[in-house]
Amino acid sequence: MKYRRIAFVASPAPEAQEALAELRARYAAADPDEADVIVALGGDGLMLETLHRHINRRVPIYGMNCGTVGFLMNEYGAEALDERLENAKPTVVHPLEMVATDVTGAEISALAINEVSLLRATRQAAKIRISVDGVVRVPELICDGVLVATAVGSSAYNLSAHGPILPLDADILALTPISAFRPRRWRGAILPAEARIRFEILDNQKRAVNAVADYTEVRDVVDVRVEERPEIDLTLLFDPGHSLEERILAEQFAS
């Protein structure tokens, strides 16, 4: 696809700022709010920030790695950018929606591209009841926390918590406990993308829990519901042979 208006955004890192200056000197730059495509210069954090910032426009994002972690990024190169963008392969992903109720009864909703995580907020382990599609599956999980990850986020926090890496085209989610104490042998579950997941915080006055959807944190929650928003399409662009699907597959064989 031919993109006429290209915008550039960059992280504050010196490497990213140098790349930004080089690309702006070579190519005409459009405003990100009016561009046909946005080139994000930095790491995965900048990619997620850019996707969130333009989530309502659903403009394609082409990332180039100028940071430390670049799982969602292409290799940096200033040459032939027009051609690279034209030949890039799109990957469409859908975010999760978190609806969290706190101790005051307030409801806060937020979108997550990587994961929704629940984390204990005190020295004591959390106690959480987990339901899927209205059926209680774990009556009481005693843990440091639990998370729901998309395929995009499955190689991030989810992987660090020993959760599975998910292929993008499998249309599934990972439900992964974080340092589970009871049930000791429960290692999580793989759920269909359309699953409706509910977390109820037990003994919340003594064992407070915070919920996080990417960048949005809600403190002292009592109830958290998570489900995918399939009507929201987010498009990432990747160089041929460097697709997100291939990197997720390769990551499963990494030592």
Active site residues: 44
DSSP annotation of 81 reads H
Which of 22, 58, 62, 23 lies closest to 46 in space, CA to CA?
62
Rounded Cα gap, residues 82 and 66, in angstroms: 19
Buried b (16+ CB within 10 A) or exposed e, 202-228: bebeebbbbbbbbebebebbbbbbbbb
Query: Rounded to 5 degrees, what are φ and ψ at 247?
Result: -70, -35
Question: How far is residue 114's CA from residue 126's CA, in Å, rounded to a whole number?
Answer: 22
Q: State the CB neighbour count (10 A cutoff) for residue 229.
A: 14
Give the number of other CB atoms < 10 A from CB of residue 102.
Answer: 18
Strands 61-65 vs 234-238: parallel, antiparallel or unpaired = parallel
SS3 of residue 26 by DSSP: helix
Q: Residue 3 — φ and ψ, nearest 5°?
A: -105, 125
